[in-house]
Amino acid sequence: MIKEALSVLPARPILFVVPVIVVLVMSFYYSDVYSRCTGNKQFRALLNETLSSAHTGAQFRLEDITAFAWDRVRIVTNFEPERRSNECPFSWNWPSDERESLIASGLLTVLIFVYRGAIVEYLELRGDEVAFRGADSSLSPKAAVFSVIPNADDSRGITLTLKN
């Protein structure tokens, strides 16, 4: 019985073992990347969905749509990273070249969430879909409260203005 099982393996087991090891290593590496990238895409979709159903002047609390602990958030508009590589392959976060186009247009916004001095989440948004106004410093969850104002130019975008 063992002899029969071994007879179906290739004559050179290395031809079978190496691809299996490569697949396992790549799966292990990309599982974290996939989770992070698709999480960012899902957060962006949830944010846009939440804001599209909000009426003009509604109060939006950033804390209400985050599913993780944080004590400070830094919102950086017109973000331009030092390096322009896409850390999310296979369009897991952005469609092909969209991130590069947003950077070139000054429309990439990032939200950097911190908990006890360590970054816990880094999220990227389209600045033409969600624009932030007045959030020039890091904010606590209680201070990250915004007024919702749809863009006047009939675009699908929303402007979030920090409430004082």
Query: How far lies 35's CA from each of 12, 60, 93, 122, 144, in Å?
Result: 36, 26, 10, 13, 26
How far apart are the C-alpha atoms of 70 and 84, rounded to whole Å? 27
Give the pLDDT confidence of 41-74 residue by residue, as tens digits: 888 889 888 888 888 888 999 999 998 999 999 9
Q: Break the chain into its structural domains and give their ranges.
A: 2-162
Residue 3 — pLDDT band, cuts 50, 70, 90? low
pLDDT of residue 92: 74
Per the CB < 8 A criterion, the answer to whether 157 and 52 are in contact is no
Q: Which two tokens stand for residue 12?
A: 């050179």
Give the pLDDT confidence of 102-118 residue by residue, as tens digits: 888 999 999 999 999 99
**Alpha helices for the chain (secondary structure H):** 2-7, 14-52, 98-105
Q: Which two tokens stand for residue 76?
A: 């950086």
pTM to 2 decimal places? 0.76
